[in-house]
Structure 1
Amino acid sequence: MNSQSFPAMPDADDPRPEPPIEPALEECCGNGCDPCIFDTYAAAQRRYRQDLAEWEARQATRRAAP
């Protein structure tokens, strides 16, 4: 079999980003904290999506390399 027919494995030095863990509803104290744990989680989600897109682009470039 031709090894070019299989996608390259992710580089051990460049692991796939891990999504943030969503806080449980009861973790919010309800006191209107600024930032609330859900604001912090939303920011972490945005950063994760950006990191994941960048990681996927690196992986695509790596697979396309001869």
Structure 2
Amino acid sequence: MNEKPTPPEDWECCESECSPCVWDTYYEALREWNVQQKALKEKSESSQATDQDADEKHQS
């Protein structure tokens, strides 16, 4: 999942306390997307730090 989930339209929730509600599904997808984005950011930062370390060692 690369694209951020979009919230449901107003008309998509019937407010009948369905289980799961479209909002429950959206918030779960959003939570998963946020976890994925955090992991990608950490991986990117880790990769950049490794690249910088390698560049510094290579220049020595």
CA distance, structure 2, for counterparts of residue 17 and residue 55 of structure 1: 10
CA distance, structure 1, for counterparts of residue 44 and residue 10 of structure 2: 35
State the shift of 1:43 in Å.
0.7
Alignment map for 1:30-45 (pairs within 5 Å): 30-45=15-30
4+ residue runs over 4 A deviation: none
Gaps of 5+ in 2: 52-60
CA root-mean-square deviation: 1.6
Sequence identity of aligned pairs in percent?
29
Structure 1-normalised TM-score? 0.67
Structure whose CA Rg is larger: 2
Larger relative contact order (C-alpha < 8 A, sep ≥ 6)?
A: 1
Aligned residues: 51
Gaps of 5+ in 1: 1-15
Higher helix share: 2
State the shift of 1:31 in Å.
2.2
Structure 2-normalised TM-score? 0.72
Map Cα deviations across residues 11-60 of structure 1 (whole Å, 9 max, x no partner): xxxxx932111111111122221000001101111111111100100111
